[in-house]
């Protein structure tokens, strides 16, 4: 009786992968044993105290991701390789089991081996850490990370499954599998990149939308370090669900192609001429997007393309045609097929035109995507760009602000920004020549420090009262910037942030001309400093906490005649970071303390500690 899953084939698949699995286990066991021991013997001393080091997920077990990039492809090509051999293909197709049952049984074997190796790495690391002094394995985030890894494995498997179902030789298997896995996200990223290039208020932070590059748990590994400068390995449940849905769709699509695939397709580059046309078009079309994006940005941006750039675009289009021809030559190994395929270049042109038109439509959507103040529930403000990256400005970035004046100002500024962009003006030059406004003496004094280049930008997340969040970059001229700062001072949310304290455990080190202080003493100075600071007006607190940024030297000049002692605390910001895998020893933020005459209690405490 034909089945959708066969236990005997599943076990047979496990046996066929035994050699690869054992070799992978040996390779992964080496760092699993040695990394904790090496960390144990590595000195991690802070002010005379040897601290415990932590192996976090995934940064401490980064090598486990070799399973996704190496392990899964090798196992897939070994176990499903019968599709590339006519005799083997005929044999497996003759078995009394549905083709989808054959594929699912083998895919289950591959998934079992990979997840087994993954769990082995986690368990061995945990056990080894128990035997190593001053090294601990952090279980926080392992559960969600494991589900994320499972979804990524399923996604890669299903992508290769499609690639092997529609092609018949190894070269085509590899090429099409990469296309299926990477190309959809590359197209989305290219579209978003051209939006950002032509609409300055658009950002990569499109959380929860199809344009969010972090929505797919696997492609997040590829784009995260490039776009966002980091990859945590931990995904939201929305990302996990999204990747699961895409993987299931890929599995269904691969199964459909598997059922329609004739045995005669083995050893051929594609199962049909239409499929081969699509495969050779894809890499050429992707490369041709480079000059297309350049032309779009120049025609919708604030600069004119010159003759040299036009020549570069022409050369890039020619290279795309060469890529189109080379794919056909490499996969079919027949020169005559290259000449026959040239008539398909019309589809390459059509694709570029369609992408260009979609980009035009997308640009209009972005320019009109302006929230109304009445529809905004609250906002979060990414302050470090304006006030510098210290503990408190980053705390502000996670604090919901619900202030009507602030909502109105930011929505209006976004509308002004988009109107400037729509007129194809350079937003930087435009705001450089705007007027200024100083509502208070504090703002007047603060402007000399903040407004270094006559404009500042702020990343704002608008949380709608209904569903969804919009993230925009808003550019200020000096006048609107000071209005913004005035409203920030008035908000009770700002006062609440300024009254928070980070824990003693977050202080990793400090910098002071006298290094005789202990970390406990430095933390006491910080608490005393903040207690005195909180007695001052909010605007004065912002000025003192503004210290660490590209304008720090300017800030020091303001109090250079005060003979203030500067103590810089280095904190890991653990209480700010919701990611449980965050390194306990990482110096995320600097916190400067200017201990001068404005802080008499703190200065007295410092003098007592220095005696």
- Within 10 Å of residue 122's Cβ, how many Cβ atoms? 19
Provide the CA 610 distance to its chain's centre, in angstroms: 45
Cβ partners under 8 Å of residue 423, min gap 6: none
What's the whole-number mean pLDDT along residues 152-158? 94
Cβ partners under 8 Å of residue 594, min gap 6: 544, 547, 556, 559, 562, 564, 565, 566
Is residue 33 within 8 Å of residue 126, measured between CB atoms?
no
| Residue with more model confidence, 511 or 387 | 511
For the entire predicted model, the pTM comes to 0.78
Task: Please state whether the peptide bond connecting residue 368 to the residue before it is cis, i.e. omega within 30 degrees of 0.
Answer: no
Residue 488 has pLDDT above 90, yes or no: no
Structural element, H or E, at residue 589: strand 589-595
**Residue 110 tokens, joined:** 């591959």
Structural element, H or E, at residue 460: strand 455-464
Is residue 344 within 8 Å of residue 280, measured between CB atoms?
yes
Residue 96 has pLDDT above 60, yes or no: yes
Provide the CA 482 distance to its chain's centre, in angstroms: 32
| Residue with more model confidence, 472 or 544 | 472
**CA separation (Å) from 495 to 295, 529, 544?**
48, 16, 14
Instruction: Give the residue ranges of DSSP H helices in 376-440.
Output: 384-387, 391-396, 404-422, 427-432
What are the strands, taking DSSP E only, across 3-143? 45-46, 49-50, 53-55, 135-137
Cα separation, 31 vs 121, whole angstroms: 9
Instruction: Give the residue ranges of DSSP H helices in 506-551.
Output: 519-533, 538-545
- Taking the CA of residue 597 as centre, how many other CA atoms within 13 Å lie in the half-sphere pointing to its CB? 5
Is residue 227 within 8 Å of residue 204, measured between CB atoms?
yes
Q: For 216-258, how does the pLDDT look when each residue is reduced to its tens digit (9 = 90+)?
A: 888 777 765 555 555 544 567 788 888 999 999 999 999 999 8
Cα-trace Rg, the chain: 29
pLDDT at 389: 60
Cα separation, 60 vs 241, whole angstroms: 25
**CA separation (Å) from 207 to 211, 217, 235, 239?**
8, 13, 12, 10
Q: For 197-207, how does the pLDDT look when each residue is reduced to its tens digit (9 = 90+)?
A: 888 888 876 65
What's the whole-number mean pLDDT along residues 398-409? 89
Residue 582 has pLDDT above 80, yes or no: no
**Residue 8 tokens, joined:** 């005997």
Residue 580 has pLDDT above 50, yes or no: no
**Residue whose token pair is 């404005």:** 598
pLDDT at 560: 54
Residue 547 has pLDDT above 50, yes or no: no
| Residue with more model confidence, 456 or 169 | 169
Helix axes 142-165, 72-79, angle to 10 degrees: 40
**Residue whose token pair is 């909010």:** 538
pLDDT at 223: 64
- Taking the CA of residue 210 as centre, how many other CA atoms within 13 Å lie in the half-sphere pointing to its CB? 6
What's the whole-number mean pLDDT along residues 30-56? 70
Instruction: Give the residue ranges of DSSP H helices in 54-98.
Output: 66, 72-79, 86-93
Least confident of 14-23, 190-199, 343-352, 421-430: 421-430
pLDDT at 355: 94
| Residue with more model confidence, 141 or 27 | 27
What's the whole-number mean pLDDT along residues 372-380? 90
Is residue 105 within 8 Å of residue 13, measured between CB atoms?
yes
Cα separation, 420 vs 198, whole angstroms: 12
Cβ partners under 8 Å of residue 88, min gap 6: 81, 82, 266
Residue 79 has pLDDT above 70, yes or no: yes
What's the whole-number mean pLDDT along residues 345-364? 92
| Residue with more model confidence, 538 or 579 | 538
Cα separation, 529 vs 602, whole angstroms: 6
């Amino acid at each position: 009786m034909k089945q959708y899953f066969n236990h005997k084939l599943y076990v047979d698949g496990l046996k066929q992968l035994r050699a690869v699995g054992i070799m992978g286990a040996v390779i992964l066991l080496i760092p699993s044993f040695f990394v904790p021991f090496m960390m144990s013997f590595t000195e991690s001393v802070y002010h005379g105290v040897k601290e415990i080091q932590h192996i976090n997920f995934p940064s401490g077990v980064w090598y486990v991701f070799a399973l996704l990039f190496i392990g899964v492809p090798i196992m897939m090509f070994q176990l499903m390789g019968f599709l590339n051999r006519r005799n083997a293909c005929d044999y497996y197709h003759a078995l009394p089991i549905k083709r989808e049952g054959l594929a699912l049984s083998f895919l289950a074997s591959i998934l079992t081996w990979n997840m087994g190796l993954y769990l082995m790495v986690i368990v061995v690391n945990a056990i080894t850490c128990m035997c190593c002094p001053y090294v601990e394995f952090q279980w926080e985030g392992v559960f969600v990370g494991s589900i994320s890894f499972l979804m990524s494995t399923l996604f890669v498997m299903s992508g290769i499954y499609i690639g092997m179902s529609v092609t018949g030789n190894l070269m085509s298997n590899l090429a099409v599998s990469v296309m299926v896995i990477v190309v959809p996200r590359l197209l989305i990223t290219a579209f978003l990149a051209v939006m950002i290039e032509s609409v300055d208020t658009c950002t990569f932070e499109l959380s929860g939308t199809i344009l969010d590059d972090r929505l797919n748990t696997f492609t997040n590994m590829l784009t995260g370090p490039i776009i966002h400068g980091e990859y945590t390995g931990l995904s939201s449940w929305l990302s996990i669900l999204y990747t699961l849905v895409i993987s299931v769709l890929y599995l269904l699509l691969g199964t459909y192609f598997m059922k329609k695939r004739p045995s005669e397709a083995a050893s051929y580059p594609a199962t049909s001429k239409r499929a081969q046309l699509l495969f050779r078009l894809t890499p050429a079309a992707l490369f041709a997007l480079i000059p297309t994006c350049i032309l779009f940005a120049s025609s919708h941006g604030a600069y004119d393309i010159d003759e040299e750039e036009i020549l570069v675009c022409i050369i890039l289009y020619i290279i795309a045609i060469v890529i189109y021809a080379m794919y056909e030559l490499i996969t079919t190994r027949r020169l005559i097929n290259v000449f026959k395929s040239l008539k398909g270049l019309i589809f390459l042109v059509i694709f570029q035109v369609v992408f260009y038109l979609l980009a035009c439509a997308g640009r209009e959507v972005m320019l009109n995507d302006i929230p109304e103040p009445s529809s905004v529930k609250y906002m979060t403000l990414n302050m470090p760009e304006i006030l510098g990256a210290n503990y408190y400005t980053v705390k502000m970035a996670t604090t919901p602000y619900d202030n009507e004046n602030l909502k109105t100002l930011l929505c209006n500024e976004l509308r002004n920004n988009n109107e400037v962009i729509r007129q194809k003006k350079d937003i930087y030059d435009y705001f450089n020549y705007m007027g200024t406004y100083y509502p208070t003496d504090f703002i007047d004094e603060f402007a000399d420090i903040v407004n270094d280049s006559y404009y500042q930008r702020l990343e704002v997340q608008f949380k709608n009262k209904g569903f969804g969040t919009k993230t925009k970059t808003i550019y200020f001229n000096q006048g609107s910037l000071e209005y913004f700062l005035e409203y920030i001072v008035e908000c009770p949310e700002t006062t609440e942030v300024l009254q928070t304290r980070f824990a003693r455990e977050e202080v990793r080190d400090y910098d002071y001309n006298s290094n005789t202080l202990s970390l406990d003493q430095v933390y006491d100075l910080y608490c005393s400093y903040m207690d005195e600071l909180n007695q001052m007006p909010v605007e004065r607190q912002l000025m003192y906490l503004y210290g660490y940024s590209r304008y720090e030297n300017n800030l020091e000049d303001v109090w250079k005649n005060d003979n203030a002692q500067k103590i810089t605390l280095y904190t890991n910001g653990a209480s700010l970071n919701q990611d449980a895998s965050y390194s306990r020893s990482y110096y995320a933020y600097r916190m400067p303390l200017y201990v001068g005459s404005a802080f008499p209690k703190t200065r007295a405490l410092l003098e007592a500690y220095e005696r």
